[in-house]
């Protein structure tokens, strides 16, 4: 399967099986916007929960915030976004389509119609709007282009309210908005996106150790969500290519169907942000070390992870096609930790009340292990398996007459089918519950 074909199949499966829908679809859509469907929203929540568990809740030096999307525009002036958050824009003189100059092989020729491209100009990617009744420059506000700004705005509040000792971090999951010139590649490059970000505050001399700790944590997270290590790569970003606030950046890249592209970023932001906001606001953002009585502006390590790009990486790496029983099968080899459905319970026949009643009882028992236990009694058992395979359900559990005790030695046992291999085994209900518990832990 070629890469373009693979991408088309992922997009098709994502819509067909309720993972990702085009935004505003019945009105023709809106470029750079997508909606998460029933299975997609659970996949997204599972990824976010794992991130919170590893990056925030599993540590004693982390605190959470949920900052407002709209902030005083001076925040973005001080951070450099008003002046510098831009991409090079070119427009075709013939068809009038616009492109990012740094994404073109030839900046003189239009890739759509072959016409001549104009001179590149800088295009600020922040969305502008107005707060209040007036629509003039005095009422201009921006939709935040990154969640980091809200974290820096709450740095002083966290210090004053919970009195953390360095090093400590502030974590947030939230929306960011970027007026991309040419959004593309499904949910890879969006105008409305979600970010999982940490700003980790350290003494200036301790940044290198902290950088390496978060570097290892990001690899640990990739493993936890099931990304193959061979598809995740590190790229040391050179001096001319780093963001204006960064002294060192590593891009974690992933082998997407459309090429190796940035998945996450790890940046050493020095004291750029806090110093800029101290200067811009006039508020003291220095940290007082109670032991040494020294005051200084902390430096910052930032692991930044895009939720949407992470989900696309998961779908791309999990997509499989094989031959099973003489038929082509499509399935998602999702890690049980992130799979939206952990197991499906099904009666062998839906017109046998005793089987249905027993199956519903088994499902209720398994839901005590995890609530995401599906029910399916529609169609034959093979079709049920295929539907669950397509959404990445690790296990299918079938209740049959042996479960009811047709053969006494098999009473209260079930058939457990494994998604990846299609193999089946006979287990007691308790053992099936343990199998699920072990897989998702």
Domain ranges of the chain: 3-71+144-315, 341-440
Residues linked to residue 200 through DSSP beta bridges, in sequence order: 169, 301
> Taking CA 240 as the corner, what is the angle to CA 238 and CA 242, rounded to the nearest 5 degrees?
65
**H-type alpha helices, 105-186:** 148-162
Token pair 């809200």 in the structure block, residue: 150
* Tokens found for residue 51: 């991130």
Average confidence score pLDDT of the chain: 94
* Tokens found for residue 397: 């559990």
Find the range with the poorest average confidence among 107-121, 217-231, 312-326, 335-349.
Answer: 107-121
Q: What is the pLDDT of residue 321?
A: 95
Q: Is the peptide bond before 321 cis (omega within 30 degrees of 0)?
A: no
Provide the CA 14 distance to its chain's centre, in angstroms.
15
- Model pTM score: 0.93
Segment 225-251 mean pLDDT: 93
Q: What is the pLDDT of residue 101?
A: 87
**Is residue 93 within 8 Å of 74, Cβ to Cβ?**
no
**Is residue 164 within 8 Å of 61, Cβ to Cβ?**
yes
Coil, helix or strand for 354? Answer: helix
Q: Name the percent of the chain lying above pLDDT 70.
A: 100
d(CA 211, CA 224): 20
Topology annotation, domain 341-440: Rossmann fold (3.40.50)
Segment 123-130 mean pLDDT: 88
d(CA 5, CA 359): 40
Coil, helix or strand for 295? Answer: strand
d(CA 43, CA 310): 11
Q: What DSSP letter does each residue of 189-216 carry, written as one string?
A: B-SEEEEEEEEEEE-GGGHHHHHHHHHH
Report which of residues 239 and 149 the model is more confident about.
149
d(CA 75, CA 82): 9
pLDDT tens for 376-397 read 999 999 999 999 999 999 999 9
With CA atoms as reference, report the closest residue to 333 among 354, 309, 317, 356. 317
Residues linked to residue 18 through DSSP beta bridges, in sequence order: none
Cβ partners under 8 Å of residue 362, min gap 6: 345, 397, 399, 403, 414, 429
d(CA 117, CA 95): 10
Whether residue 1 is predicted with pLDDT greater than 60 in this model: the reply is no
Q: What DSSP letter does each residue of 95-116 carry, written as one string?
A: T--EEEGGG-S-TTB-TTT--B
Dump strand ranges (E) for 51-182: 62-64, 70-71, 86-91, 98-100, 121-124, 128-130, 140-143, 168-177
Whether residue 302 is predicted with pLDDT greater than 80 in this model: the reply is yes
Calculated CA dihedral for residues 128, 129, 131, 136, nearest 10 degrees: 90
Whether residue 264 is predicted with pLDDT greater than 90 in this model: the reply is yes
Q: Residue 98: which pLDDT band, with cuts at 50, 70 and 90?
A: confident
76-80 long-range contacts (CB < 8 A, ≥24 apart) are: 76/126, 76/142, 76/144, 76/145, 76/149, 77/280, 78/276, 78/277, 78/279, 78/280, 78/281, 79/149, 79/152, 79/245, 79/273, 79/276, 79/277, 80/244, 80/245, 80/276
Q: What is the pLDDT of residue 2?
A: 61
Q: Which CATH class is domain 3-71+144-315?
A: alpha beta
pLDDT tens for 166-200 read 999 999 999 999 998 889 899 999 999 999 999 99
């Amino acid at each position: 399967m070629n890469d373009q074909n693979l991408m088309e199949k992922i997009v098709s499966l994502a819509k067909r099986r309720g993972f990702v829908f085009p935004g505003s679809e019945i009105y023709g859509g809106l470029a750079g916007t997508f909606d998460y469907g029933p299975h997609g929203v659970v996949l997204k929540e599972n990824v976010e929960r794992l991130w919170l568990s590893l990056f925030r809740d599993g540590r004693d030096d982390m605190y959470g915030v949920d900052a407002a999307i709209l902030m005083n525009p001076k925040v973005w002036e001080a951070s450099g976004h008003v002046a510098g958050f831009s991409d090079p824009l070119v427009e075709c003189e013939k068809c009038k389509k616009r492109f990012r100059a740094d994404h073109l092989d030839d900046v003189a020729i239009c890739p759509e119609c072959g016409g001549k491209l104009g001179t590149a100009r800088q295009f600020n990617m922040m969305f502008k709007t107005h707060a209040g009744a007036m629509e003039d420059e005095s009422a201009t506000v921006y939709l935040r282009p990154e969640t980091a700004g809200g974290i820096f705005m709450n740095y002083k509040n966290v210090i004053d309210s919970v009195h953390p000792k360095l090093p400590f971090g502030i974590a947030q999951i939230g929306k960011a908005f970027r007026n991309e010139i040419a959004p593309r590649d499904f949910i890879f490059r969006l105008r409305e996106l979600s970010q999982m970000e940490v700003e980790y505050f350290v003494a200036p001399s301790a940044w290198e150790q902290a950088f390496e700790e978060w570097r290892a944590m990001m690899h640990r997270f990739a493993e936890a969500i099931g990304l193959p290590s061979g598809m995740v790569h590190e790229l040391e970003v050179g001096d001319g290519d780093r963001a204006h606030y960064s002294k060192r950046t590593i891009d974690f890249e992933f082998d997407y169907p459309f090429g190796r592209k940035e998945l996450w970023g790890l940046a050493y932001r020095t004291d750029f942000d806090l110093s800029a906001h101290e200067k811009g606001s006039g508020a003291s953002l220095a940290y007082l070390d109670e032991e040494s009585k020294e005051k200084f502006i902390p430096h910052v390590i930032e692991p930044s992870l895009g939720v949407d790009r992470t989900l696309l990486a998961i779908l791309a790496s999990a997509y499989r096609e094989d031959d099973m029983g003489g038929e082509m099968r499509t399935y998602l080899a999702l890690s049980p930790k992130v799979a939206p459905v952990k197991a499906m319970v099904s009666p062998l026949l839906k017109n046998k009340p005793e089987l249905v009643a027993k199956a519903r009882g088994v499902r209720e028992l398994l839901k005590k292990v995890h609530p995401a236990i599906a029910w399916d009694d529609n169609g034959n058992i093979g079709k049920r398996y295929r539907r669950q395979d397509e959404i990445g359900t690790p296990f299918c559990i079938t209740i049959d007459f042996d479960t009811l005790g047709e053969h006494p030695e098999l009473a209260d046992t079930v058939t457990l089918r494994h998604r990846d291999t299609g193999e089946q085994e006979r287990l007691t209900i308790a053992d099936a519950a343990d199998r699920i518990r072990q897989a998702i832990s």
